[in-house]
Amino acid sequence: MPSGPKFKSVDEYFDSVTPEARPAMDEIRNLVRRLVPDAQEVLSYGVPAFKKGRVFFFYAAFKKHIGIYPPVEGDDALTAELKPYRGKKGNLQIPLDRPMPWNLIRRIAEAQLQRYSNQV
């Protein structure tokens, strides 16, 4: 995950996001909030994350993409659909210069919530 300035809050992190990445970050934030309204929004490893029992979804803004962590596992169909977005370590890199795959991002959040809820 990214290293760099240390932020004191998720809002402070969002204030640092570039204008190019901010709309996507805002929508991801809102999407996960709607999906899991009782999840706690936290900073973890210096990036925004959602926690329900434990952190299940991290996301971060970069110059040319949005990163989503940790790698999705346990859902072969979803894993296959995510192949074009996979980084070297399995993390997801969603390019900012293409339309955001909102349905796919929603499915990632649902899968990660399910995966990590079973481990609590």
Q: Is residue 20 part of a domain?
A: yes
pLDDT digits (tens, 9 = 90+) for 21-75: 999 999 999 999 999 999 999 999 999 999 998 999 999 999 999 999 988 888 8
* Residue 25 φ/ψ, nearest 5 degrees: -60, -45
Q: Map 52-88 to HEC letters.
A: ECEEEEEEEECCCEEEEECCCCCCHHHHHHCHHHECC
Domain count, the chain: 1
What CATH number should be reported for the domain holding residue 85? 3.90.1150.200
Other C-beta atoms lying within 10 Å of the C-beta of residue 99: 7
- Look at residue 4 and tell me if it is in a domain: no
Domain range holding 99? 10-117
The model's pTM? 0.88
Number of H helices, E strands in the chain: 4, 5
Q: Looking at this protein, which amino acid is placed at residue 80?
A: A
Could you tell me if residue 41 is inside a domain? yes
pLDDT digits (tens, 9 = 90+) for 66-99: 999 988 888 889 989 999 999 888 789 999 999 9
Task: Give Cβ neighbours of residue 71 (< 8 Å, ≥ 6 apart).
Answer: 86, 89, 90, 91, 92
**Structural domain contains residue 3:** no
